[in-house]
Amino acid sequence: MKISIVIVTVLCLLYPVIVNAADIPVGNVKTLKGEASIIRNGTPLEAITGADLFQNDSLKTGADSSMSVVFRDDTLISVGPNSELAINEFQFSPAEGKLSFVARLLKGTSAYVSGLIGKLSPQSVRFETPVANIGIRGTKFAVKLDGDD
């Protein structure tokens, strides 16, 4: 009986930590020009400077808009006008050896400046597009997708 009470008590104490682990922001909006949105769980939210970003969010900019974001590891990504970028994966726990960053540019333009994940574990960073994947071996690059808007 005592053991089950202890187990239940420990689980109750850990529950907020386990549940909130997915709610930890991976970064935030640093700068914003024009109208842009954050797509979260299929719902568009107005992007504002300082807004938190989470894994699986997408960034979408309007015709005369741009946005830059900074991630917890100091990675910087900017997206230009008429762009859409998905944050597919972000893990930054260096003490636990969990380092991973995967973003996908769906349309438009984007610039990338590597943060700590790219410096500590470049093989753990991937930038995807509909036609190619970019493995990070340097620290900066820009991508432009041409096609129908």
pLDDT tens readout for residues 105-123: 999 999 999 999 999 999 9
Residue 12 lies in a domain: no
- Is the pTM higher than 0.85? The answer reads no
Residue 88 confidence class, pLDDT cut points 50, 70, 90: very high
Over the chain, what is the mean pLDDT? Answer: 85
Residue 131: predicted pLDDT: 81
Burial class (CB in 10 A: 0-12, 13-18, 19+), 1: exposed
* Structural domain includes residue 2: no
Residues in CB range of 115: below 8 A, 6 or more apart: 71, 73, 74, 75, 76, 101
Residue range 135-143: mean pLDDT, rounded: 74
At 3 the pLDDT is 58
Residue type, 82: N
34 within domain boundaries: yes
**Out of 42-46, 76-80, 133-137, least confident range:** 133-137
Tell me if 16 is assigned to some domain. Answer: no
Answer yes or no: is 41 within a domain: yes
**pLDDT computed for residue 30 by the predictor:** 98
> Per the domain annotation, does 73 fall within a domain?
yes
Q: Is residue 76 part of a domain?
A: yes
The structural domain count of the chain equals 1
Domain that holds residue 113: 25-145
Q: Does residue 138 form part of some domain?
A: yes
